[in-house]
Amino acid sequence: MQYKVVAEAYEQLESTSKRLEMTDILVQLFKKTPTDIIDKVILLTQGKLHPSWLGLDVIGLAEKSAIRAVQKATGEKIKIIKEKVKETGDLGTTFDKLKKLKVKTLSQFMQKKKPEPRFSSPITVEEVYSELDEISKLTGTGSGDKKLSRVSELLEAANRKEGKWILRTLIGKMRLGIRDMTILDALAIAFTNDKKNKPIIERGYNIYPNLGEIAKILTNQELDTIKNLKIVTFTPVRMMLAQRLSSIEEILKKLGGISAWEYKYDGERLQIHIDDKVMLYTRNLEDATPQYPDVQKLVRDLDIDKAVIEGEVVAVDSSGGLRPFQELMHRRRKYGIDDAVEQYPINLFLFDILKKGEQDLLDVPYTVRRKHLEQLVEGTDKLKLATVKITDNASEIERFFNESIESGCEGIIAKDINSVYSAGARGWSWIKLKESYQSTMADNIDIVVVGAYMGRGKRARTYGALLCAVLDEKEGNYKTICKVGSGFSDSDLDFFLQKFEEVKRDTKPPQVKSVIKPVPDVWFDPLIVAEIAGDEITLSNVHLAGFGKVKTNSGLAIRFPRFIRWREDKSIEDITTTDEVVDIYKRQRKTV
C-alpha cells in the first residue's frame, strides 16, 4: 500500500475538527488498507510504532536532529529551516513548503549518480513503518549520525506530503486530534457495517488495548472472537474508573444501601501482572516495572503462579506513615533507581483482582473478588489489603471517612458489592468521596492544558496562567473551563517547562474549542494533564464547557481555580468530561 494514501487521509483529518467527518475519513482509509498492514496503519495514525504498554522503543527524535535531517534531505540552510519553522509552527509543514519550492541546482545535477535507492517510488506503508521501527532501535556510539542519515534518506524518497507526516511521526507531533473512541467508531463501520457493534469492539479493546490487533481480528469478520476475548497476562486491562458525589447520603442512595467503603490512597494506581515474571502498569497503561523493583519483590512472595491484581503504591516515611502523591514523582526516573528506592520507600495496598490462575474474574461480583484477594494476601508491614468497611450506616461511614483522612488518605471510595469489574468504564458502581468535598465544588477535576499566558514580575520568564479544558466525549473535542494562575510553586512550573516546549504551537489546535479573549500567548497540543480545585462551578459567557446544557448561550467555568498537581499517571482519555462538570454544577444547586 502506498504511503501517500495514508498521507492524503491525514491531510483530510487535519482539515476538520468534526468527529463524524473524522470517522468517515478513517472508515475510507481502513477499507483501503490490506489486512496484513491494518495494524501498522492504525499505530501510525496514533503516532506510535507499538502500544505503549509493550515498553518497546519509541521514535522520539528530537526536533533539533530532525531539522538536521531536513537540511540534509533538502540542501537548505539550517538557519532558513529554523526561520520557516517559526513561521509555520511545525517542522512537517516547513518540509512541505521547502520541498515544493526546491529546484535542483546545477551542482546537484553534476553530482555522481547515487547508489540504487532502498525505497520504492512511491514509498509504501510497509517501508515507512519498518524504517521508523529500525531507526527507533538504533543505540550506542554513532547511533545519532546513523539515525540522521536514515531519516534524511527516507525524506529524500518521500514527496512533500509524505515527508510532512513522516516528520510529524518522528518528532511525536501528529496533531490530528483523533481519540481512540473515534477509531473504534470507524472500525465498527468499516468492518461490521454497523456502528451499533461499537460496544462489543470497545469491550474487547478495554480487555486487550491494542487497536491494531483488534482491527486485524475484525478484518477477518471475527466479531465473536472480540466478544470472547480474555485477559492475557502482560497485556494491561484498561482500568475501571469511579464517579464522584459530594455526600455520603447521595452515595448510599445511588448504590441502594449497603456498600463496600475503601480507603482512597493518595498514591499511584498499578495493575500488577504475575506469571513467569512480574510487570507493572499505570493508569495510562505504561510500563512502570523498572520504577518499582520493591513492588516486584513484594508480589513475588504471593502464593500464586499467575494473576492480575490492582493496588495503590503509596510513599511512606521511616515510620510507615503515608506521604502525599508528590513524593512518588521522585520514583519517575530511568537512572538511580536503587537510590530512589532507598530515599522514597513505599507501601502497596491491594484492592482488586482481575485474574487468578486461568480464571478471569472481571464478571464476578465485588465481594467474590475481594474474597479471592483476601485468600491470596497475608498482610505485612509493606504489603496490605486496602482498608474496607461494608455498611449502610451513615454515621459509621462518616467516622470511617475521618479515619481515612487522619491516616493520610484522600478520602474513601464506595463500591457496589454486586458490581462486576467494568474495564475502561467510568460508571456508578464505584463512587469516590474526597476531603475536598467540603467546598461547594464536589471534587477536584482533571483538566488538559491547552494554552498559556506569559507571566509578569517574578514569573516574567515563564507562564503566569494556564488555559484549561475538559473533554466533550460526544463531540470528541476539548472545551475551555478556566484559566488557572494560582497554586503553582516555582518547581511545579519548572518541572513541566520542557514538556510544554514539546507540545507548544502558534495556533489553536483544531480539537480545542475556545472563544476566550485575549487569546493565549502560546497554544499547546492537548497532552498535559493536571488536577485543579476550585470554589464552585459557575455559569460563564467566555468558556465553552457544557455550553447550552444548563442555560442557553452559557457555558460553565470554575470559580477561583487553583493548581493542585500534575497528573502524569492520567491520559487525556481519563480527564473530566463536560457531562461530569454539568453534573457537579447541578448537584451544587441541588437540582438532581
Question: How does pLDDT run across 1-12, given as a tens digit for each residue?
Answer: 999 999 999 999
Residue 403 binned pLDDT confidence (cut-offs 50, 70, 90): very high
Per-residue pLDDT tens digits for 232-291: 999 999 999 999 888 999 999 999 999 999 999 999 999 999 999 999 999 999 999 999
Per-residue pLDDT tens digits for 446-489: 999 999 998 876 666 778 889 999 999 999 899 999 999 888 87
What distance in Å separates the CA atoms of residue 175 and residue 523, rounded to the nearest whole number? Answer: 12
What distance in Å separates the CA atoms of residue 24 and residue 215, rounded to the nearest whole number? Answer: 16
Is residue 264 flagged as an active site residue?
Answer: yes
Single-letter amino acid code for the residue at 62: A
Q: What is the pTM of this model?
A: 0.85
Which of the four CATH numbers 1.10.3260.10, 3.40.50.12640, 3.50.50.100, 3.30.1550.10 does domain 47-171 have?
Answer: 1.10.3260.10
Strands 536-540 and 278-281: unpaired
Closest residue by Cα to residue 362 from 416, 419, 305? 419
Cell readout for 168 is: 510529524
Overall average pLDDT of the 579-584 stretch: 92
Single-letter amino acid code for the residue at 468: C
Contact between 322 and 315 (Cβ < 8 Å): yes
Element (H, E) at 452: strand 445-454
- Is the bond preceding residue 518 a cis peptide, omega within 30 degrees? yes
Which of the four CATH numbers 3.10.450.30, 1.50.10.10, 2.60.40.3880, 2.40.50.140 does domain 445-588 have?
Answer: 2.40.50.140
pLDDT at 147 over 80: yes
What distance in Å separates the CA atoms of residue 584 and residue 572, rounded to the nearest whole number? Answer: 20
Pick from 133-137, 228-232, 394-398, 568-572: least confident: 568-572
pLDDT at 117 over 80: no
* Average pLDDT value over all residues in the chain: 90
Overall average pLDDT of the 64-73 stretch: 92
Q: What is the dihedral of CA 393, 349, 570, 546, to 10 degrees?
A: 0
Going by CATH, does the domain composed of 241-438 fall within 1.20.1260.10?
no
Single-letter amino acid code for the residue at 212: G
Of the candidates 99, 264, 415, 434, the residue annotated as catalytic is 264
- Is the bond preceding residue 561 a cis peptide, omega within 30 degrees? no
Range list for CATH 3.30.470.30 in the chain: 241-438
pLDDT at 592 over 80: no
Range list for CATH 1.10.3260.10 in the chain: 47-171
Per-residue pLDDT tens digits for 330-348: 888 888 999 999 999 999 9
Element (H, E) at 150: helix 143-157
Residue 175 binned pLDDT confidence (cut-offs 50, 70, 90): confident
